[in-house]
Amino acid sequence: MGALSGKIALVTGGSRGLGREMVLGFAREGADVVIASRKLEACEAVAREVEGLGRRALPVAAHVGRWEDNDALAARALAEFGRVDVLVNNAGMSPLAPSLAEASEALFDKVMDVNFKGPFRLSVLIGEAMMAGAGGAIINLSSTAAFKPEPHTVPYSGAKAAVNAMTVALAKAFAPRVRVNCIAPGPFLTDVSTVWRENRAYEQSLGLKRFGEPNEIVGTALYLASDASSYVTGQVIRVDGGTW
């Protein structure tokens, strides 16, 4: 306990799913948390849970696909706490088009904006602040779709592959004061997993023969956020139950 005692963490997409689990996991380990997502009310609900654990919480409404929202989010977090020790770029989306030819420019841009442009901008802003201060850790969220792209996931897989590349590049840019790593989740049973959660053939194809529970992301996130991974940077860690 206390692996993040006294730390300040910022988690995007922190109001539900994997993001909420990481927010609460960080708080249990002693961190104060900035919780960002598009809906302020949802952030405020999780903030109350964090405060119930005895930690401070700052809920912020932000659409990470918008450049200016990332600027405002970074400024708000730094003004409130003076620093950010851990950044988790968790917010993402994976809308599907009926076919490759029917993928609209608007859908393509939306997927790229939320999954790649936003994490890039926020990482640069927070990373520069970390470099000017005591350092820190940045954790990006990618996907096993970056390693196993399918025809129906081309924009999403491409955006997540870009996140993997960004992780390595920013680890070099911000070294040695800031460590930058990435988690590539596989199939987790969150509220956005409705498309495949009843697919038993898919479930049985996994090495562990089951889908992941949202809380099972927390151990890897804590590892990368804490001093337990002090000699780890530029890495993409698959947490996927054996998606081979």
Question: pLDDT by residue (tens digit) across 118-170?
Answer: 999 999 999 999 999 999 999 999 999 999 999 989 999 999 999 999 999 99
d(CA 68, CA 90): 18
Is 218 within the bounds of a domain?
A: yes
Is 156 within the bounds of a domain?
A: yes
Catalytic residue among 156, 202, 223, 231: 156
Half-sphere exposure for 55 (CA within 13 Å, toward CB):
29
Question: Which tokens in the block code for residue 223?
Answer: 């590892």
**What b/e readout covers 161-193, taking b as 16+ CB neighbours within 10 angstroms?**
bbbbebbbebbeebeeebbbbbbbbbbbebeee
Number of domains composing the chain: 1
Domain that holds residue 203: 8-239
Is 2 within the bounds of a domain?
A: no
Is 76 within the bounds of a domain?
A: yes
pLDDT tens-place string over residues 39-66: 999 999 999 999 999 999 999 999 999 9
d(CA 4, CA 24): 12
d(CA 209, CA 200): 9
Q: Tell which residue, 167, 130, 160, has the closest CA to residue 240.
A: 160
Known catalytic membership, residue 156: yes
Beta bridge partners of 238: 184
Over residues 17-26, the mean pLDDT reads: 98
d(CA 197, CA 241): 14
Indicate the pTM of the whole model.
0.97
Task: For residue 225, give the CATH number of its domain.
Answer: 3.40.50.720
pLDDT tens-place string over residues 177-226: 999 999 999 999 998 777 788 899 999 999 999 999 999 999 999 999 99
Is 244 within the bounds of a domain?
A: no
Query: pLDDT at position 1, please?
Result: 66
Q: How far is CA 232 from the centre of its chain?
A: 18
